[in-house]
Amino acid sequence: NAGVTQTPKFQVLKTGQSMTLQCAQDMNHEYMSWYRQDPGMGLRLIHYSVGAGITDQGEVPNGYNVSRSTTEDFPLRLLSAAPSQTSVYFCASSEGRPGNEKLFFGSGTQLSVL
């Protein structure tokens, strides 16, 4: 039982480069989300999705794009990486039904932008 799988675990980018962080879940969860975690800032919501074809912005969406073409996958795209995007990124999923909001997290991607 894989749960939520994130790749890669570590990534170093140069300013201006683009890349995609991958996230896949095998629990048939409708709700998926991306958070970034910075020291002293906790987890901040970037984008989320309540089902295939539906996405919405969270607290800090600028500089990131998402799409949800299947229930299983929810990739996060950095269009033009900036040093301010250096962070640990977590993907999370849940059933998304009222009373069943338990989030299952991936193991994270540590991203450094030079």
Partner 1 sequence: QKEVEQDPGPLSVPEGAIVSLNCTYSNSAFQYFMWYRQYSRKGPELLMYTYSSGNKEDGRFTAQVDKSSKYISLFIRDSQPSDSATYLCAMKDSSASKIIFGSGTRLSIRP
Determine if 27 is a binding residue for partner 1 (CB under 8 A): no
Which segment (19-27, 37-45, 62-70, 72-80) binds partner 1 by CB under 8 A?
37-45
Determine if 61 is a binding residue for partner 1 (CB under 8 A): no
- In the set 35, 64, 81, 113, which binds partner 1 (CB under 8 A)? 35
Residue with the two structure tokens 């929810």: 74
Nearer to partner 1, 6 or 85 (CB): 6
Nearest to 19 by CA among 91, 69, 82, 96: 82
Distance CA 105, CA 107 (A): 7
Q: 75-111: string of b/e by CB count within 10 Å (b at 16+)?
A: bbebeebeeebbbebbbbbbbbeeeeeebeebebbeb
Distance CA 90, CA 72 (A): 16
Token pair recorded at residue 41: 């800032």
Determine if 74 is a binding residue for partner 1 (CB under 8 A): no
Nearer to partner 1, 14 or 42 (CB): 42
Determine if 89 is a binding residue for partner 1 (CB under 8 A): no
Q: Which residues bind partner 1 (CB under 8 A)?
A: 4, 31, 33, 35, 40-45, 48, 50, 56, 58-59, 90, 92, 96, 98-99, 101-103, 105-108
